[in-house]
Structure 1
C-alpha cells in the first residue's frame, strides 16, 4: 500500500515554517510527523505538497493508496480507524479530511474539493493536529511522551556516567551518548538522549525532554520541560517549552521560551525572547493567510523563526514575534513583531537580503554539517523569495 501524507487547504496557517517543507516534516516531540507515521504503519511514505517542494519531497502512487493528512500526529485510536478504511472511504472530523483510501486512478484524480464523492466516516475520538505554529510547542510535551513509549518499547537503555544525577527512572540513552556532571529530572516526564548526542558538564535538564541524534547541550545549560533539540543542533542558556528543528544553533546564554526555531537558524549570544506580555494579555501572531495578526488564545507565546533565519548578539524579541525565511537581524532595540522573509536589518530599518548573498551564507553553513546546499534547495528558496516579495516593501 502507498502511504501518502498530504498537505491540506489549511497549510497557509503554518507559514513561514511550511514554506520550506511539507507539514509532515515538522518535528513535534522526538520525531517528525512523517517519522511517526513510518513507525506506526511500518511503511515508507511519500508526500503530496506544494508543486515547488515535490522534487525534494516526491509523490509515489501505487495500486492501493492511503492518503493521510500530514497535520495529524498518529496514535492508536487514529491508526485503528485509518487501518479500517475501505476503498473510497474518507475519515473526517467535521469538514477536515483526516484520511482517505483510493485506488491508483482515484489517487491520480485526488482533489480536496471533491470530498462529496467519497463515503465519509466521522472520527469522534480526541486527536493532535498541528493547525498553527504555536501548536508545535503546545503539544510538544504530550508528543515527547508518546514518542518515548513508541521508540523505547521493548528496548534496553544504555547507561550514563556515574558523575551524573538522575531523578526518577524515565530516561532512555541511545548508544554513543556523552554526558558528565549533569542532572536529569524525569519526575514530570521522560528524557530521551539520542544517538551520539552530547551533554556537556553542568547542565540541568527537566523532562519531558528530547535531545535528538548528534545534538549538543552546551556547558551549564538550563533546560525546562516540553523541550526538543533536533538532530545536529546546539543549545545553551535557558530554554523552556521550545522546539528547535535540525541543524540550528542557540548555543549561548539567553532565554528561549514557548518558541519554535526551524532548520539552519542561528541565535546570537545573549539574545532573549519575551514569551508573555507585561499586561498578561493574549498573544497575537502574524498570520500569512490573512496578512494580519491572529489571536492565539495563549498567554505564553514567544518566537516563531523560519529556516535559515539568524540574529546577532543581544537581539531582543518581543512577545509573539514571527521571523520569516532567511531573515537576518542585528542592531539595538526590539525588531518588529513580524520580520518579512529575506529581510536584512533590525529596529533601525530593513533592506532586502539578496538571494545571491543568502546562497553564499547557506553554502558555508551547510559545509559545516557536511551537507550539500544543492540546486534543489536553491530553487525552493528562489520560489519562496518570489512568493514573499509583497511583504518586503521597506
Structure 2
C-alpha cells in the first residue's frame, strides 16, 4: 500500500511557510508531519501537492493507495479509523477530508473535492494545522506525543554528570553532548538527538527538542514548548518557538511564539515582540485573503519563511510575517508584512534580485554539511519569485 500525504486548502492558509514544501513537510513537535505518519504506519510516504513542488516532492502511486491529509497529525484514534477504510471509502471530519483509500486508476485522478462512494464520519478530536500560528500553538502537545513515540521501550544515553536534570522525562540519543547545563522536565519532556551539543551554562525547560547536528550556545535560556530542527545553531532567549532546520539564531536576543523556516539567519541582538502594548489580539498577514487576520491570540511573534534573513539589531513588531528569501536590515521596525524576495527595512524595500539570492544560497548550503544548491531548488525558488511578484510593488 502506498501512503500519499495530500495538500488541501491549508496549503494556501499556511503561506508563506508552504511556498517551499507540502504541508506534511512542516515540522511540529520533534518530527515533520510526514515523519510522524511514517513512524506510526511503519511505511514510507510520498506527497500529492502543487505541480511546481512535485519535482522535489514526487508522488508515488501503486495498486492500493491510502491518501492522508498532510495537515493532520496522527494519533491512535485516527490510525484505528484509517486502518478500517476499504477501497473507495473516505474518512471525513465535518467537511474536512482526512483520508481516502483508492485504486491505481482513481488515485491518478485524485481530487479533495470529489464525491466518494462511501464516507465515514470521524467523531474524535485531533491536531490539524490551518494557519502558521497553529504550529507553535500545538507544539507542546506534539512534542509530548513525539517524545513518547520515539523513546518508547528505550533507555537514554548517559550524559555528563556536570549537568543537572530535574524530573525524569529526559532522553539523549548516543552522540548527544552537554556540559554544565540544567534541564528541567517538570513541565514537559526534553529530547536531545544524536550529534547535538548543549554548551555550558545553558538553562532549558521542557517541553523541548533539539534535532540532529544542532547546537545550543553558551548561556542560552530556552523555555517550552520549543523545537530546534536539524543542523541549526541557537543562542539567547527562546520561548515557544519552532525552528525547522539549517537555520541560525546564534546570538543574544529574544525569539518567542514564533516559527522560523529552513535556511534562515537571525542577526545578533535581534528581537521580536510577541505581546502588544495594549494587550489586544495579534493580527497576521494572510496570503489567502491578502489582508490581516485576527489570530485571536494575545501572544504571537514572528513567522519567517525559508531563506529569509535579518541583520543585527533588527526589531520585529508583534505578529510580523516575513516571506521567502526576504532580507531585512537597518534601524526601526520594518512593516508587519515583509514580502517574499524583499530587500530592505523600515526605510523602505526594493526587490532582492534572484541572481544575488542564488549566490548567497550557494554559500549557505555549502556551510551545512557541503550541501549543493542544485537545479531543483533553484527552479522552485524561481517559481515562487514569479508567484509572489504582486506583493513587491514598492
TM bucket (normalised to shorter chain) is over 0.9
2:343 matched to which residue of 1? 344
Task: Give 1:178 shift.
Answer: 1.0
Q: Distance in 1 between matches of 2:113 and 2:300?
A: 34
Q: Distance in 2 between matches of 1:11 and 1:250?
A: 27
Task: Give 1:222 shift.
Answer: 0.1
3-state SS of paired residue (1:85): coil
Contact 2:10-2:23 within 8 A present in 1 as well = no
1:363 matched to which residue of 2? 362
RMSD, matched Cα: 0.6
Q: Distance in 2 between matches of 1:113 and 1:157?
A: 46
Task: Give 1:289 shift.
Answer: 0.6
2:41 matched to which residue of 1? 41
Q: How does 1:61-72 map to 2 (within 5 A)?
A: 61-72=61-72
1:89 matched to 2:85: no
Q: Write out per-residue CA displacement over residues 255-278 of structure 1, whole angstroms, 9 at most, x where no aligned residue.
A: 000000000000000000000100
1:23 matched to which residue of 2? 23
Task: Give 1:101 shift.
Answer: 0.3
1:286 matched to which residue of 2? 285
- Structure 1 gap segments, 5+ residues each: none
1:238 matched to 2:237: yes
Q: Write out per-residue CA displacement over residues 279-313 of structure 1, whole angstroms, 9 at most, x where no aligned residue.
A: 00000100001000011110000000000000000
3-state SS of paired residue (2:100): strand
Q: Distance in 2 between matches of 1:199 and 1:118?
A: 53
Task: Give 1:127 shift.
Answer: 0.4
3-state SS of paired residue (1:384): helix
Q: Distance in 2 between matches of 1:85 and 1:292?
A: 40
1:51 matched to 2:51: yes
Q: Distance in 2 between matches of 1:303 and 1:177?
A: 29
Task: Give 1:156 shift.
Answer: 1.1
Q: Distance in 2 between matches of 1:294 and 1:371?
A: 37
Q: Distance in 2 between matches of 1:81 and 1:365?
A: 44
Q: Distance in 1 between matches of 2:10 and 2:31?
A: 22
Q: Write out per-residue CA displacement over residues 328-349 of structure 1, whole angstroms, 9 at most, x where no aligned residue.
A: 0000000000000000000000
Task: Give 1:112 shift.
Answer: 1.7
Task: Give 1:162 shift.
Answer: 0.5
Task: Give 1:111 shift.
Answer: 1.1
Q: Distance in 2 between matches of 1:373 and 1:68?
A: 30
Q: Write out per-residue CA displacement over residues 112-149 of structure 1, whole angstroms, 9 at most, x where no aligned residue.
A: 221x2331111111100011100000000110000000
1:199 matched to which residue of 2? 198
2:76 matched to which residue of 1? 76
Contact 2:260-2:306 within 8 A present in 1 as well = yes
1:209 matched to 2:208: yes
Contact 2:10-2:129 within 8 A present in 1 as well = no
Q: How does 1:2-13 map to 2 (within 5 A)?
A: 2-13=2-13
Moved >3 Å (runs of 4+): none
3-state SS of paired residue (2:292): strand
Contact 2:10-2:71 within 8 A present in 1 as well = no
1:325 matched to which residue of 2? 324
1:256 matched to which residue of 2? 255
Q: How does 1:95-110 map to 2 (within 5 A)?
A: 95-110=95-110
3-state SS of paired residue (2:277): coil
Task: Give 1:78 shift.
Answer: 0.5
Q: Distance in 1 between matches of 2:126 and 2:288?
A: 24
Q: Distance in 1 between matches of 2:324 and 2:117?
A: 38
Q: Distance in 2 between matches of 1:113 and 1:174?
A: 43
Aligned length: 393
When normalised by structure 2's length, the TM-score is 0.99
When normalised by structure 1's length, the TM-score is 0.99
Q: Distance in 2 between matches of 1:217 and 1:80?
A: 39
2:381 matched to which residue of 1? 381
3-state SS of paired residue (1:189): coil
3-state SS of paired residue (1:18): coil
Contact 2:72-2:98 within 8 A present in 1 as well = yes
Task: Give 1:103 shift.
Answer: 0.6
2:305 matched to which residue of 1? 306
2:147 matched to which residue of 1? 148
